[in-house]
Amino acid sequence: MAGLQRVGYPNGLFLIIEFFVHIIYLHGFCSSVDSFKAQLVKSYIERNNVHTLFLKDLPPSPAQAMSLVEAHIASLDDQYWGVVGSSLGGFYATYLSQKYAKKAVLINPAVDAHLILEKALGKNTNYHTGESFDFTQTHLQELQQLHLPKLQQAQNLLLLTKVGDEVLDFQKGVDYYQGSEQVVLEGGDHGFADYENYLEKTFDFLTS
């Protein structure tokens, strides 16, 4: 749904303005625009004929990924936008949200991506495209530069996390995102297989 903004006037009258949000979706490590969560967001926007979407395959280099996204952000001028990020995309979304004071929804985010992905050093294969790439120490250093030890605007973030995440420790997310709205769900997995049930929650948060 579109967001509603109440604008007041000195005479006591007010006007309700409907506004739309431009969604920047950021996928996870070794993933792509073909991930099921990315496609759910895309389908939701197309089905409801509201909002707009930036959805691109991100390069393996974190610095290059952020350069791509921030070049797009620079083109938006005064357009209202927010971010949805999954896993490594959640790590990126956190950085962008805090830098630009925008809202972001984080799906099983990789809180300490610069540490978690040490085990991914070397050759990797994209789950969807089958393309192989090298993940290097330079990439880890680029992630370190994006890591925020402490959140300054935690209220701009919504954490969606599964206790049953087999890849990441959900508790790290709960601790790191103190002060953010949190939806902590029992069971589940890293892929957040029932994300479709939280699409409305995602868009309600981004347009509130």
pLDDT along the chain (208 residues), means of 10: 45 54 97 97 92 97 98 94 98 98 97 96 96 97 97 98 94 97 94 96 95
* Alpha carbon distance 159, 62 (integer Å): 22
CATH number, residue 100: 3.40.50.1820
The whole-model pTM stands at 0.91
* Alpha carbon distance 127, 120 (integer Å): 14
| Residue-number span of the structural domain to which 188 is assigned | 21-206
Please report whether residue 8 resides in a domain. Answer: no
What pLDDT does 15 receive? Answer: 43
Please report whether residue 11 resides in a domain. Answer: no
What pLDDT does 167 receive? Answer: 93
- The total domain count for the chain is 1
Please report whether residue 5 resides in a domain. Answer: no
Please report whether residue 171 resides in a domain. Answer: yes
Contacts 24+ apart (CB under 8 A), 184-190: 184/159, 185/160, 185/161, 186/162, 187/162, 187/163, 188/162, 188/163, 188/164, 189/162, 189/164, 189/165, 190/87, 190/108, 190/162, 190/165, 190/166
